[in-house]
Amino acid sequence: MGERILITGGGGFIGCHLTRRLLRAGHQVRVLDSMIEQVHGERSRPELLEKEAEFVRGDVRDGEAVRRALQNVDSVVHLAAEVGVGQSMYAVERYVSVNDLGTAVLFQQLIERPVRRVVVASSMSIYGEGLYQDEDGGLHEDVRRMPRRGPDAPWDPLDAQGRPLRPVPTPETKRPALASVYAITKHAQECLTLTVAPAYGMEGVALRLWNAYGPGQALSNPYTGVLAIFASRLHHGQPPMIFEDGLQRRDFVHVEDVARAFHLALERPEAAGQVFNVASGHDRTVAEVAQALAVAMGRPGLEPEIAGKTRSGDIRHNIADIGKIQRELDFTVRRDFVADLAELAEWVAQQQAEDKVQQARSELERRGLVA
Ligand code: UD1
């Protein structure tokens, strides 16, 4: 039997893919989205949102709008959030307000009309640095980035003896270490969901996402994920700009895999009360993806610029252990990175987008947040 599902922030990149998937599975979808200009420009309805989805424009911090959006709803997916790690380090009030007050308002309303399940989009950024291993095989959970002393200092974290540490897949059991305002707000969203939902007979689930990419990512938003930023630069014939030395590692997960993870998290009984990592299980360096994307977009000559500077709030490496979601929810990764880049390149070629990346970079530099 299909459910009626409310997706907050459902007009965004992940929300539109998830809406399509849930509609095909026989659910009804209502989307509440405030349509912020940084993501949606001047549009009044999300460009990629399926026609069959009901769209309500409203802010998740507006209790009355949330109350109306919750009418006759069986389950909620909470995606409404500000998502830029770099931007969160200066737009502190905005990030804490949208992400945490927004989640608080949602639950305040849910207390009056509980639903079966609430699935929240958390982030791998709550781990801070991922799990590391030293040369003797010892695991390190509490690695923190230290300011670099001089231009020749290593980028990678070191152990107490000054030996390099190697990133290894990070499981859900790693202690959180909050390194940016964004991470603090995502951690609070997760805690609110897993604490308030069960107190009112609802099932809370948190998905900790790694770096989602794919067609539909907001290309004109200079604070969006790195692949969309690089795509926008290359599209305009500009080289990607890479922070640090480009060898920082992440796990890039296709948005359709992310949508499948949300679908499982909504439907599977075993998911109740749990947190799950969502990623592809393959890690790559930022420089590697910049080069692969340049090739996919037919711009192999556009060599990335390596800044040799760190963006404040950034972590060095974080790669995913996806064993838990594979075992417990039968999650499988169906995408192929190279084919996905070709798909992304094809989509980007049809888009009209503004390149505001240099502007955003100057903004961070002006505030001393790139050093
Ligand atoms: C991203 C998401 C965050 C999500 C998290 C989960 C965005 C804006 N942020 O954070 O919402 O919760 O993944 O993994 O989508 N970089 C460059 N050049 C650029 C931009 C970024 O070199 O122009 C580098 C960054 O310094 C960083 C890496 O690329 O080392 C990834 O940055 P970004 O895409 O912003 O992602 P996260 O910070 O990992």
Whether 305 contacts 235, CB under 8 Å: no
Judge whether 279 lies within some domain. yes
CB atoms within 10 A of CB 203: 21
Residue whose C-alpha is closest to residue 322's, from 314, 331, 335 = 331
Largest pairwise CA distance in the chain: 61
What is the DSSP-derived secondary structure letter of residue 178? -
List all residues 6 or more positions away from 185 whose beta carbon is below 8 Å from its beta carbon: 81, 82, 88, 95, 96, 99, 100
pLDDT of 304: 94
* Residue ranges of the chain with per-residue pLDDT less than 50: none
> For residue 292, what are the CA distances in angstroms to 229, 318, 339, 345?
14, 20, 11, 11
CB atoms within 10 A of CB 317: 23
Phi, psi (rounded to 5 degrees) for 158? -120, 160
Query: Residue 187 sits in which domain range?
Result: 4-366
DSSP string, 111-166: HHS--SEEEEEEEGGGG-S-EEE-TTS-EES---PPPP-STTS-SS-B-TTS-B-E
Pocket test for ligand 1, best of 226, 233, 359 (most atoms within 8 A of CB): 226
pLDDT of 149: 83
How many A from CA of 115 to the centre of ligand 1? 33
Whether 115 contacts 74, CB under 8 Å: yes
**Residue count of the chain:** 371
Judge whether 131 lies within some domain. yes
Residue whose C-alpha is closest to residue 319's, from 116, 134, 119, 174 = 174
How many A from CA of 228 to the centre of ligand 1? 10
Whether 223 contacts 138, CB under 8 Å: no
pLDDT of 278: 98
- Give nearest CA residue, ligand 1 atom 7: 225
Q: Give the angle subtended at the CA of 191 by the CAs of 3 and 66, to the nearest 5°.
A: 45
Judge whether 357 lies within some domain. yes
pLDDT of 243: 95
Please give the number of the atom of ligand 1 that sits closest to the Cα of 243: 22
pLDDT of 218: 87
Judge whether 328 lies within some domain. yes
Whether 271 contacts 207, CB under 8 Å: no
Domain count, the chain: 1
- Give nearest CA residue, ligand 1 atom 20: 226
pLDDT of 356: 84
Judge whether 283 lies within some domain. yes
- Give nearest CA residue, ligand 1 atom 39: 211
How many A from CA of 352 to the centre of ligand 1? 22
pLDDT of 343: 94
Judge whether 371 lies within some domain. no
* Amino acid code (one letter) for 329: L
CATH code at 50? 3.40.50.720
Judge whether 239 lies within some domain. yes
